[in-house]
Structure formats: C-alpha cells, structure tokens
Amino acid sequence: MCGNVGLLARLELRHARSDLRFLLFAAGADIDEDRGFLERTYQLYLAVLFAFALVLSWAQVIDLVEGIHDALGALAGSVAFALLAYLPAVLLVCRAIAGLQETPLRLTLPDISWLAREVRPEEILAVRLVRIVALWLFAGALGGHVLGVLAGAYEPLAWAAFFAVLTLTTRLAALACALVRSAARRRIRLSVTIAAGIAAVLLAVLMALVTPTLAFLMGLLFVPLALVADVLFVAFSLVLAAHANMAFVVDDNELYAARKSLSFLAFVNAGTYKEACRRRRFARRRKARRTWRFARGGAAHVSHALLSLVRRPSLLLGALTWGGAIVPIGALLIAEGSNVGVLLVWLLSVALALREPLPLAHVFREDCTNRLVRPLLPQGALSLLLLDSLPLLVASLVSSALVLAALTDVLGTNMVPSVLLAWAMLLTLVFAAAFDDPQRVRSVGSFQLTAFACGVLCVFVVGLVGVLGVIPALVCAVVTDALLAWSLR
C-alpha cells in the first residue's frame, strides 16, 4: 500500500506542476522549456509579482471588512458570530449533497485507464485527504481572520485557528457522509444515499446548535476536541473507501473526467465550458417525459418555463441567488443609508454577476435565439418575457421578501420599502434581459445597449439615487421599470 500511495503522491505533484506550467504559459513563461538564467529570472519575477498582488489584495479585503465593521457598529459582532455558527452547517449540507451526486473518489481519464486496476479506493482517498486538509485549513484560516476582523476581536488569529479547524471538521464530515454511497451495495444504494443525505442535514443542524455553545464555554479548548473529531472522520472515511466498489467508482467518475479534460477551456471561454458540462451532466439523467402537455394560450409559455426548470433545476439556484442574496443585500444597504463606498462594492458585485446571463430570463433567451420559432410566437416582447420568466421571477420575489423580512426585523428597519425596492430592482433586471433578443440590441455609436449594459446601467442609477434614501431609490426603480416596459410594448 505504501508503494501505491507514494506513486499517487508523485502523480498528484506532477498534476500540480502541469497546472502551474499552463498558468505560467499564459503569462509567457514555460518552466520546462525555459531553463536559461534570464528565463528563470523572469519566472521568479512573475512569482514575486503574483505574491505581491496577493498581499495587496488581502490587505484591501481586510480594509473593506473593517469598513463594514465601522458601518454596522455593534451589529457587526452579531453578524460575525452568526456566520461562525451557521456557515459551517450550510457548507456541510452543500458539500455532502455534492458528494452524494458524484463519488468523492476522483479519477481522471488517464487514471481510469492506468490506475483503476492497480490501486485501491482507500489509497486514492489517503492521498486526496492530504490536499483536502491543507486547502481547507488554509481557506478556513483566511475566513476566520475575516470574521475576527468583522467582529472587532482583539485576537483575529484566534478566530482564524478556530474557524480553520471548524471548517476542516465540516468538510471531513461531509466527505464521510458522501462516501457512504460509494460503499453501499447496488441494491440498497438509493436508500443509503437518501439516508446519508438526511444524516448530513441532521448533523448540520446539530452542529449549528451545539457549536456556538461549545465555542463560548470552551474557547480555544474547542480546537483539540475538533481535531479529535477530524481524526475519527478520517478513519471512518478510509474504512468506507476500503469497501467501495471500484467498478462503481470508475462509472461514477465519467462526468468528472469529462469536466477535467475540458477544464482549461474555462480560461478561454467560460460559457462554452459550462454548457459542455451541463450537456454531459444532462445526458446521464433520466429525460423528462416526452408526453408533457402544454397549456393553451399564454399559459403555454408558463408551462414551457416549468418544463425547462424541471430539465435544468440549477436555474432555480441562480434565481434564488439573485432574489435571496444579491438584490436584497443592495436593498438593505440602501435602506440602512450605507456610504457610497459600500454601495459601489455592491454595484461592482452586481456587474460581475451580470457577466453571466440572468437565469430568470433563460427561457426567453432560448425562445429568441431560435430563429425558426420566434417569428411564429404571437406574443410581443414584453408579454413573452414576463410569461417565460414567471416561475423563476415568483421564486425570486418570494425569497427576497422572506430574506428581507428576517433581516429588517433584526436590524430594526422598515420592511415594506426594502421589499418593494428589491422587487422593483428584480423587475428592472428582468426587463433589461429583453435586450438578450438579438433583434433588440441597440447601438449608440460604438456602444451597444445589451442586456448586460442595460442591467448594470439601471442598477447603477438606482444605487446612485439610493444615496438620498430608500424612498427616492424606490421611485427611481419604479420609473425605470415603467420606461423599460414602455419600450418593450
């Protein structure tokens, strides 16, 4: 076993070197071919420059968090403790569900061809655990340091150590839950998978309830207790991996191997990479019924949107992200009277998120890009946009109302203007998505008014007016919606 583990470790290092070579090749350097003194000096210069950029970026992040702490005041400590208590629980559920969909024992196409018959699953996991522990301790330490600065703690390094061990425990618990599916027999695999998912949810709830109490009572003494739990989770994971069926592991790695072979395409064309991964993932699923019956009239578009949601449930996650996180945060910042710097950071996050097409208008984009179908649809642009977006729009509106109801109750602000502002901004983004229609792209000189440009411009105007207060921002958003709807009629 030691020989195979050493072989796998060297193979992991070679994979890391290949990835590093590709990244440096994008910067004009090749660590294998360029071996001269000047070439090595240039490579050292790139490494120093990258490290310097990372240090400056981290300093900017800390400065931004300190600004958020000053803006929130006494509430910043409560927010930091809430994130410390509930973020690991959410992380556990998300990682466990992702691991139950695909086996955590990762194999690429060359690994499947050459290693599947030579190594055992527990050996693969043993090597992968080293990387998991290192990465999650590092990421947890960074996250804990940010939470410590947000809470205004005198010792943010203590927060870093505490949160690093806590996130590692969360990741190892999720890994143990996910490996149950790989170790189960074929006849009971579905039942075991469901039971493992329920166990992960219950474990996350227990962690959310117990962790704050233990952290308050034990302080840093909680760290050794968490490390003991980590050792137990590692041992349990290795036992489960030893019982895994390698044939199932190879078959379940089909999607991962395909994604890995296309991974560098993400640097060139992220949209094409995501679409290729989606098509491969959808090819393995059970297809929706071909006898789906659409409603008549305008309701046919709503039923079409519902079918698209069934075939591509990830759209719901995107809608909930916009309706439950991005837009409510902006509405809350405006309602709280945040300074211009904080609003600009939120506007920048909106602009970065809008680089990907708005998921709420996915069906509308599909109808518009189909040149054979679009001329035959009797609805105009406005009605078609609203009907195609109705299911996801309703989900985003409900999620934003629920999130803002909870947050405004904690902050003591007025809920109604915040909810109305969030709803108006969501409608603005949906109306702006009408410019995804190739026939509606407008040009002003060399500037093209696309869905991205229109969405960013409208949200920026609303955010700029939001400096004056939530009511002026709400009026501006409503007027913007009216103008966009009038232009689409």
Give yes or no for residue 271 having a pLDDT over 80: no
User: Hey, how many other C-beta atoms are within 10 angstroms of the C-beta on 104?
Assistant: 28
Give me the long-range contacts of 344-347 (CB less than 8 A, separation at least 24): 345/64, 346/463, 347/456, 347/459, 347/460, 347/463
CB 255 within 8 A of CB 280: yes
Q: Distance between CA atoms of 215 and 268, rounded to whole angstroms?
A: 45
pTM of the model: 0.67
Look over the chain and give the mean of its residue pLDDT values, rounded to a whole number: 79
Query: Once rounded to an integer, what is the mean pLDDT over residues 441-455?
Result: 69
Cβ contact 149:66 at 8 Å = yes
Please choose, from the candidates 174, 182, 278, the residue with its C-alpha nearest in 3D space to the C-alpha of residue 229: 174
- Quick one: pLDDT at residue 217? 63
E strand or H helix at 470, and its extent? helix 470-488
Q: What is the pLDDT of residues 403-421, one digit of tens each?
A: 888 877 767 778 888 899 9
3-state SS class at 386: helix
C-alpha angle with apex 298: 293 to 299, nearest 5 degrees?
40
Structure tokens, 86:
């509930």
Q: Which of 142-146, 321-325, 369-373 is least confident?
A: 369-373
Task: Give tens-digit pLDDT for 210-246.
Answer: 777 776 666 667 778 888 888 999 999 888 888 888 8
Give the pLDDT band (50/70/90) at residue 288: very low
Q: In this structure, are residues 139 and 87 in contact, taking their beta carbons and an 8 Å threshold?
A: no
Helix/strand/coil percent split, the chain, to 5: 80, 0, 20
- Give the CA radius of gyration of the chain: 25
pLDDT of residue 478: 92
CA distances in angstroms from 178 to 175, 236, 351, listed in the order given: 5, 12, 35
**What mean pLDDT is predicted for residues 3-20?**
76
Q: Maximum distance among all alpha carbons in the chain?
A: 73
Residue 227, φ and ψ in degrees, nearest 5: -65, -35
- Look at strands 447-449 and 442-444 and give their pairing: antiparallel
Is residue 415 within 8 Å of residue 408, measured between CB atoms?
yes
Contact assessment for residue 174 and residue 193, using Cβ atoms and an 8 Å cutoff: no
Predicted local distance difference test score (pLDDT) of residue 39 = 76
311 within 8 A of 282, measured Cβ to Cβ? yes
| Residues 462/474, Cβ–Cβ less than 8 Å | no
At 13-72, the pLDDT tens digits run 877 777 777 777 766 677 777 677 777 787 788 888 888 888 888 888 888 788 778 777
Confidence class for position 90, pLDDT limits 50, 70, 90: confident
Torsion of the alpha carbons at 345, 349, 350 and 356, rounded to the nearest 10: 160
Start-end of H helices in 262-380: 265-268, 270-284, 299-311, 314-321, 327-335, 340-353, 362-369
